[in-house]
Structure 1
Amino acid sequence: MTQLMGRPILSLPDDLGTRSPLADLLVGARTALLALSVIAVPVLGLWVLTPYGDITARGALRLSCALWLLGHGAPLGRGAGAPFTLTPLLLTAVSLGLLRRAGARAGARTPRSAGAWRAALPVGVGYLAVAALAVAECSGPEAVLRAEPAADLFAVAAVTVTGLAWGHCAAHGVPRRALPAAVTARLRAWTPALPAAVTARLRAWTPALPAAVTARLRAWTPADWAPPQDAAAALRRAAGSWLLGLLAAGGLLLTTAIALGTAGRSAAGLADGPAGVLGLLLGCTLLLPNAVLWAAAYALGPGFAVGTGTAVSPADTHLGAVPEFPLLTLVPTGTPGTAGQAVLATLPLLAGVVPALLLGRAASGRGTDRPWHPAGTAAVAFAAVLAVSAAAAVAAWISGGALGSGRMSALGPGPWQAAVTAAGWSGAVVPPGALLARWILARSGAEPRPATTPAGWARHRAARLRRTLHHLVTRLADLSRTR
């Protein structure tokens, strides 16, 4: 009896070493309740600290459920049909992290096979069961933020599938399925024709080039243009490092604004007692990732909107009446000077240095003795540009929303503006930087002996410069990869 009581209830294995679907169902419900407790505990604590408030305990719990649904991107309604869709991304990150952990544990118990994902199905059902209860609690007429059942359950299901799939891929790896034979045959029949036509056109266009250049162009084959086998990992590292660099730029701008701004004095003036200060602090904490993404959009150039007909960017800023909230007091009311714009322009450029070094290091064949072709390096670099452009659009979309109808129906950066500017900044730095880093790392070798002639001395100095740049680029790439 003592051994049975000491075992975790949700982790009882049977004789075969597997778990029943009921246990996985309870794991999903527990995961949802853990994510809900992240917001329910501070909200109920604030309710306890406010004994003379009009809200009841059930009202505080209902507000916690509404905020939890908002953390999944679920649209809510406020007042007479006014939309409330601003997602607190901190709750989204917590929910995704817990779902990833549950998905990884469910996937680790099953062998890698075509049906391994079925182990996570009861976990998702248990999570959605708690979401259905939260939607039912927020659907009454007495709710301050009313739920839209169909849209809210769909949003929670999307986040659930994303988190569990992330955990499943962490346990079993990303599944790779081969293309159908008809598609691969069609690609093989079509692919060689384009480079052949291009090289033939180049032969007709370049009769005046040196013989070595034309011989090099004629020697190129379609295989030279194809990305290498290990390009996917390098592409993921490059795109991820660029996004992290841009987030670091946004965090730097937000930290500077908090240090120099009046957010603290604004919170003290708006709050009514310690409970009010803690409530404003909780709201600002939940929206802190949103503020970082808005600051990153400001560093990119397109900026963001604080209501319809407004714009906050380094080039142009025009605002109307802004709601009284501490984070909104950090919004700049004017455009920076020439020096400020120059500093802002360097942030996205610096963010592109690390992915360029990572791609250049991978393309030089360091560690594999198999360097990439320059055309393949450029193809992977432009694929990374497209990846960061799509990621910037998604980040801008999820960080914005609405706080009501009318003027406050548009908040946050525009997705397509963020995508275009991210593609422009990364395209200006990553492809040429990757090709330059590849050339430096590939050309570095044994240092030639100095010669007495001026030409030999120049070659000697050039080799020493290449060797110095090689050590610098290698060191920076190793440090960025380690971090």
Structure 2
Amino acid sequence: MHRLTVVLLAAVDAAIAVAVGIAATLAPLTLLWVVAFGGVADWAALWPAAASIWQLGHAVPLDVELAGAYVAAVGVDPSAESFALSLGPLAFAAFTAIFAARSGIRASRAEAWVTGVVTGSVVVAALSALVAFTSTSAVVTATTWQAVLHPTLFFLIPGVIAAVATEWREAGSGAIARLRDRIESAPHGWGLVPALVARGAAVAVMGLLGAGALVLAVGIFTRGTEIIGLYEAGNVDLLGAIVITLAQLAYLPTLAIWGLAFVAGPGFSLGAGTAVSPAATQVGVIPGIPVLGAVPESTTPWLLLLALLPVALGALAGWIARSRLIALEKDAVARGIGPQLRRPDDDDPIAARLAVTGGIAVVAAAATALLASLAAGSMGPGRLTAVGPEPGAVALAVGLEVCVGAGILLLAPRRREDRVPEAAELDPQGPVWFDTEPIEPLRPPDEHPTGASGTRL
């Protein structure tokens, strides 16, 4: 693919990611305005609101300053006149990351991944700056450099990861391909360590996100009555209920990460002095957001068994890595290069497997810490300034649990059927043994037990 084509496609991907994200907020707000107030929509009010929601969805902290007359009219505590809002609807960030990964993969296959990722990131930065400078408001403000940098990072980092992963798997030339070939030529299984760590950590983290989403779904299903009650307590009409539901859907990735923290053990908080975890739940009065009705009022010690899920996911990641290592060694023996993978005096080398175990645990812990930090923040004044999981506690719990599970599979002694032949068995003059069945080696024609006519006696 021509480099100019890569630039154009990357720019289009970036523009669509920004435009669709903002349109997803601007369209419902416009519809709400038209239905509620009639007439032409007030873009001077709608555009800053849509832009602020989009920025919040990319982890841009917002400063909210309410008018004193409004605070007095609604009877709100004067201390709530100004507060920070940083707990964002991560559906917008996930949408941007998906477009970035798609763009990075395509640019890599076109052999111009640096050009594609840089172009897309520059376009996102330019559009983010345009949004920031045209959406100033007296009520909600954002720091300009954060409003530009954060959306750009949500495009840049997934784009680089997807492009580099594609280069590692598919590229036949280039700097990453040369690095891959050099690493994969390392003896005794060390060449597969980076790929196995990345694959195992991805399995563990995606599995944990799935488990968190499942816990969220179970909570919504079992506590549906409480959720409906909060809808009714809000005294909103059908249109208002639809808007609230759409807003909650945008927060589903955030809530799934809360579920991940709950499964891992540390749980999350719904304000200062509160805790929601399998061990104990203490929330007090919660905000009247319907989906928060899924939070249990109390927990049972049986929920501590949820911690076995990260262990099981770590075991799955370890099984995948162990199977790949064994398959590589057997394949190398079959092709006559077995001595590169094992030493004659080493019955069962585990150094590479130990590195893979630790690598999976560390990468999974770092990834969950990042997710937990994105899903934590402030959602209002007072005690609502501390909402969400604690990144350090979640990372520590996930790292230990995944390490235990991966270690069980990766560091256990090999079974007889997984045994790799010894170096002595690789003698080209003797038979090569796979498990327990010998294979007769091929011999030159003059060594076959034949008669004078060349036929077998």
Measure how far apart 1:227 and its partner are.
Answer: 5.0
**In structure 1, C-alpha distance between the alignment counterparts of 2:382 and 2:200, rounded to whole Å:** 41
Asked if residue 158 in structure 1 is aligned to residue 158 in structure 2, the reply is no
**In structure 1, C-alpha distance between the alignment counterparts of 2:221 and 2:10, rounded to whole Å:** 46
- Cα distance per residue 1:398-449 (max 9 Å; x no partner): 111111343111111101101111122112221122233844651499xxxx
State the partner residue of 1:466.
none
Amino acid at match of 1:153: V
Q: 116-125 vs 157-166, which deviates more?
A: 116-125
Amino acid at match of 1:368: D
Q: How does 1:40-51 map onto structure 2 within 5 Å?
A: 40-51=26-37
- Which ranges in structure 2 are unaligned for 5 or more consecutive residues? 66-80, 170-174, 334-340, 343-348, 422-434, 436-457
Amino acid at match of 1:164: G
Measure how far apart 1:149 and its partner are.
Answer: 1.0
**In structure 2, C-alpha distance between the alignment counterparts of 1:283 and 1:237, rounded to whole Å:** 33
- Cα distance per residue 1:53-94 (max 9 Å; x no partner): 998343223221111111221111112541111121111110
Report SS of the residue matched to 2:309: helix
Question: Compared with structure 1, are the counterparts of its residues 269 and 230 closer, same or farther at alpha carbon in structure 2 (3 Å cutoff)?
Answer: same
Aligned partner (choices 40, 43, 50) of residue 64 of structure 1: 50
Q: 353-362 vs 38-47, which deviates more?
A: 38-47
**In structure 2, C-alpha distance between the alignment counterparts of 1:161 and 1:379, rounded to whole Å:** 29
State the partner residue of 2:360.
384
Amino acid at match of 1:70: L
Report SS of the residue matched to 1:83: strand
Measure how far apart 1:267 and its partner are.
Answer: 2.3
Measure how far apart 1:369 and its partner are.
Answer: 4.5
State the partner residue of 2:246.
282
Question: Compared with structure 1, are the counterparts of its residues 271 and 287 closer, same or farther at alpha carbon in structure 2 (3 Å cutoff)?
Answer: farther
Give the TM-score of the pair, scaled to structure 2: 0.74
State the partner residue of 1:314.
278
Question: Compared with structure 1, are the counterparts of its residues 43 and 349 closer, same or farther at alpha carbon in structure 2 (3 Å cutoff)?
Answer: same
Report SS of the residue matched to 2:272: coil
Q: How does 1:206-217 map onto structure 2 within 5 Å?
A: none
**In structure 1, C-alpha distance between the alignment counterparts of 2:367 and 2:82, rounded to whole Å:** 31
Q: How does 1:194-273 map onto structure 2 within 5 Å?
A: 227-261=189-223, 262-273=226-237
State the partner residue of 1:93.
94
Whether the 8 Å contact between 2:48 and 2:136 is mirrored in structure 1 is no
State the partner residue of 1:402.
378
Report SS of the residue matched to 2:412: helix
Report SS of the residue matched to 1:352: helix
Measure how far apart 1:244 and its partner are.
Answer: 2.0
Whether the 8 Å contact between 2:315 and 2:402 is mirrored in structure 1 is no
**In structure 2, C-alpha distance between the alignment counterparts of 1:254 and 1:386, rounded to whole Å:** 26
Report SS of the residue matched to 1:229: helix
Q: 34-43 vs 431-440, which deviates more?
A: 431-440
**In structure 2, C-alpha distance between the alignment counterparts of 1:81 and 1:66, rounded to whole Å:** 16
* % identical aligned pairs: 24
Whether the 8 Å contact between 1:311 and 1:317 is mirrored in structure 2 is yes
Question: Compared with structure 1, are the counterparts of its residues 298 and 151 closer, same or farther at alpha carbon in structure 2 (3 Å cutoff)?
Answer: same
Report SS of the residue matched to 1:230: helix
Q: How does 1:443-462 map onto structure 2 within 5 Å?
A: 443=419
State the partner residue of 1:339.
302
Question: Compared with structure 1, are the counterparts of its residues 82 and 101 closer, same or farther at alpha carbon in structure 2 (3 Å cutoff)?
Answer: same
Measure how far apart 1:319 and its partner are.
Answer: 1.7
Amino acid at match of 1:350: A
Whether the 8 Å contact between 2:315 and 2:408 is mirrored in structure 1 is no
**In structure 1, C-alpha distance between the alignment counterparts of 2:61 and 2:293, rounded to whole Å:** 26
State the partner residue of 1:127.
124
Aligned residues: 382
- Cα distance per residue 1:182-223 (max 9 Å; x no partner): xx9xxxxxxxxxxxxxxxxxxxxxxxxxxxxxxxxxxxxxx9
